[in-house]
Structure 1
Amino acid sequence: MAKRHKQPEYSAAERALIAELDLGDRTMIPIRSLVDCSLVRLFWEDWRRSDARDPMWIATPGDHDENELHRVDGWPEYGDGTVERKWSRRARLWMSWFSIDAWHVCDWLVNAVSDGEQWLWNLDDAGHPRKLTKCGNLQRLVHEATKGLRQRNAEVARQIVLGPNDERFMHDLGVGHTLVRLCSRAALRKEGTLMHHCIGQGSYDDFLDDPDVVLASVRDPDGDPLATLEVRGGYIRQFRARANAEPSEAVKDLVAGAADTFGWQDWRDRPGYRADNQDYGPEAVVILRDLPPPRRRG
């Protein structure tokens, strides 16, 4: 880590990625050093390899649908602020491609710190957990996160018993599926535990008292969660399946009707969304992307 910190641009890269993770201080502060030696390290190394090929342009990774070139040098002809602009741009692109994996890793780190996992004290010579520093790519880090969360979440979920005021029916999605509003910290905790994502780790608790925020769960006929929604001010910010994966086409089709009924819109359509962010997809909007234009705006 020390060598990376000697790089004049490393701090700008770190700040940019932390900002794009957008976890809030309550979640980020306890795991900041772990994020730095895992996600930030891999983010930095990815871009060093990219710069060795072309420091000005990068193509959309091959496992994504788009086939575009993106400029990533910070537009030095625009004057001051090139470094900050460059790494802000790179962080937005990287998160548009890898946000699901990045948030999954953060969920794991939050739980590991909360539970005092033993591996946190197995350190390398630089003082960083070996479990993180041995991961040479994002896929390996995600594998460790998935393995670490699986057993813990199953046990915790069994211990959470909800009462009648913890959840509220919102909408009949058809074929036995329902949309349920999460109304309490216990409901968030159980949802996050079963779905292997961070909604139950405290960073969303304050939204429970905000009338402009809807936190909801898609349930199958047996009442088991299939996907989780976050809607802010009528704009869908996140829509994620288990382990922050993209919901199936069947689940997206079910929820599209609810989005139409409630008039929910795409996060990118919100006031103040900047045009220069247009190729940074919203954190998780996947329903509205597939709807015809007249329905997207409700």
Structure 2
Amino acid sequence: MSKYDNPEYRIATYHLGCELDLPDHALRPIRHLLGPSLGRIFWGDWLRLDAIDPEWISTPGDHDDPDWHRVDGWREQGGDHIQRKWKQRARLWIQWYSVDAWHVADWLVTAVAGEHAWLANVDDQGHPKKLMKCGTLERLVHEASRGLRERNASLARDVLLGPTDEHFLHDLGVGHTLVRLRSRAALRKEGAIMHHCIGQGGYDELLDDPDVALVSVRDADGNPLATLDIRNGYIRQFCARGNAEPSDAVRDLVASAVDAFCWQDWRDRPGSRADEQDYGPEAAVILRDLPPARRRG
């Protein structure tokens, strides 16, 4: 039996789709593509991990003092442990690989909306060959980057902003500024230039929230260098192009605004835990290694 006909595989990919947390209008058209793309990689990763330990797994890359997670679905609780098992595994996998997974999902959404020709080039099971040739998440990300390059270049070039789309927030010195993004068009353009998910729709509803500030770091020519997501005075995200960590120079520039606005690290907010991963479904890269000016004892 093909894994695509395996009921457990279908359960696994269903929960993976849920954890992507895309709006239904975006998820519905691409759900059939999740199996031969992210779902296939997700399933293969867990088969390899199950061969080592089907009950427990530690956080990838954390070798000194790893966090351990139970992934067998808690059989002793009875009921449908298979559903619990794949819900937990999907949650962890997206937590670990969220940026890459959302990047691939964005590519799939764009391809379906644009009726890209490669979708019609399928194998004997009806799966697009372009997806099936990608045996790793890295390869899927590579194909997604190629596929989105033209779309992003077009957005960056063609989206024209008016005076109400952005407004000046703070002078960072040496010609650099902070600009607050105030419209969907501003988010689309920022995301297209910076190659991260702020322009994919997940942040749109936050534009009307007075406790949320979506802010762009701009150089002397007005080009974005990094993007911040600030909620209730706490810096929740801070990412550079392609979701990379901002450079030391950019972090040092932003430190003056941190002092001016008394912003703090998201992990320092009341009630948070040092190991907390509750950054929300639309998160890109979580700010790490804050400059000392951002820490509040």
Q: What's the TM-score, normalizing by structure 2?
A: 0.82
Change in CA separation of 1:93 and 1:259 when aligned onto 2, cut-off 3 Å: farther
Alignment of 1:141-290 (within 5 A): 141-259=140-258, 261-266=261-266, 269=269, 278=275, 280=277, 282=279, 283-284=283-284, 286-287=286-287, 290=290
Distance 1:208 1:279, change over 3 A: closer
Answer yes or no: is the 8 Å Cα contact 2:72–2:85 preserved in 1: yes
Q: Deviations over 1:71-119 (max 9, x none)?
A: 3223434554533333333223322321121122122222222322211
The 3-state SS of whatever aligns with 2:163 is: coil
Alpha-carbon distance in 1 for matches of 2:258, 2:78: 43
Partner in structure 1 of residue 44 of structure 2: 45
Q: Secondary structure at the match of 1:136?
A: coil
C-alpha displacement at 1:142, in angstroms?
Answer: 0.7
Q: For residues 295 and 81 of structure 1, what CA distance do their matches in structure 2 show?
A: 45
The one-letter code matched in structure 2 to 1:243 is G
Structure 2 contact 188–200 (Cα < 8 Å) conserved:
yes
Does residue 68 of the first structure (1) align with residue 66 of the second (2)? yes
Q: Which runs of 5+ in 1 are unaligned?
A: none
Cα distance change on mapping 1:264 and 1:11 into 2, 3 Å: farther
Q: Secondary structure at the match of 1:44?
A: helix
Distance 2:207 2:246 in 1: 24
SS of the aligned residue for 1:101 comes to helix
Q: 1:21 to 1:174 in 2, by over 3 A?
A: farther
> 2-side partners of 1:88 and 1:257: how far apart?
42
Determine helix, strand or coil for the equivalent of 1:127: coil
How far apart, in 2, do the equivalents of 1:279 and 1:66 lie? 18
CA RMSD, 1 decimal: 3.1
The 1:208/1:89 distance shift into structure 2, 3 A limit, reads same
CA distance in 2, matches of 1:202, 1:132: 24
Q: Give the match for residue 105 of structure 1.
A: 104
Task: Note closer, same or farther for the CA distance 1:224–1:177 as it changes in structure 2 (3 Å cut).
Answer: same
- 1:120-159 equivalent positions in 2, closer than 5 A: 120-159=119-158
Distance 1:47 1:279 in 2: 23
Return the offset for 1:120: 1.7
CA contact (8 A) 2:264 2:294 kept: no
| SS state at 1:85 partner | helix
- One-letter code of the match for 1:17? L
SS at match of 2:2: helix
Instruction: Report if aligned partners of 1:255, 1:287 keep a CA contact under 8 Å in 2.
Output: no
Per-residue CA deviation, residues 4-37 of structure 1 (Å, 9 max, x unaligned), is 3443433442233223322222332232222332
Q: Which amino acid aligns with 1:32?
A: R
- Between the two proteins, the alignment pairs up a number of residues equal to 292
CA-CA distance at 1:250 after TM superposition: 3.4
Q: Tell me the TM-score normalised to structure 1 length.
A: 0.82
Q: Is the 8 A contact 2:172 2:256 kept in 1?
A: yes
Separation in 2 of the partners of 1:187 and 1:42?
Answer: 34
Residue 19 (structure 1) aligns with = 18
For 1:193 and 1:94, the matched residues in 2 are separated by 26
Q: Tell me which moved more, 52-61 or 185-194.
A: 52-61
Moved more, 193-202 or 163-172: 193-202
- Which one is further off, 172-181 or 259-268? 259-268
**In 2, Cα distance between equivalents of 1:161 and 1:12:** 43
Query: What secondary structure sits across from 1:112 in the alignment?
Result: helix
* Gap runs ≥5 in structure 2: none
Please give the alpha-carbon distance, in whole angstroms, between the structure 1 residues aligned to 2:12 and 2:268. Answer: 24
- Percent identity for Structure 1 against Structure 2: 58
What are the superposed Cα offsets for residues 155-178 of structure 1, whole Å, 9 maximum, x if unpaired?
332122222221111223344332
Q: Distance in 2 between matches of 1:104 and 1:210?
A: 26
**Structure 1 pair 114–58 and aligned structure 2 pair: CA distance change class (3 A):** same
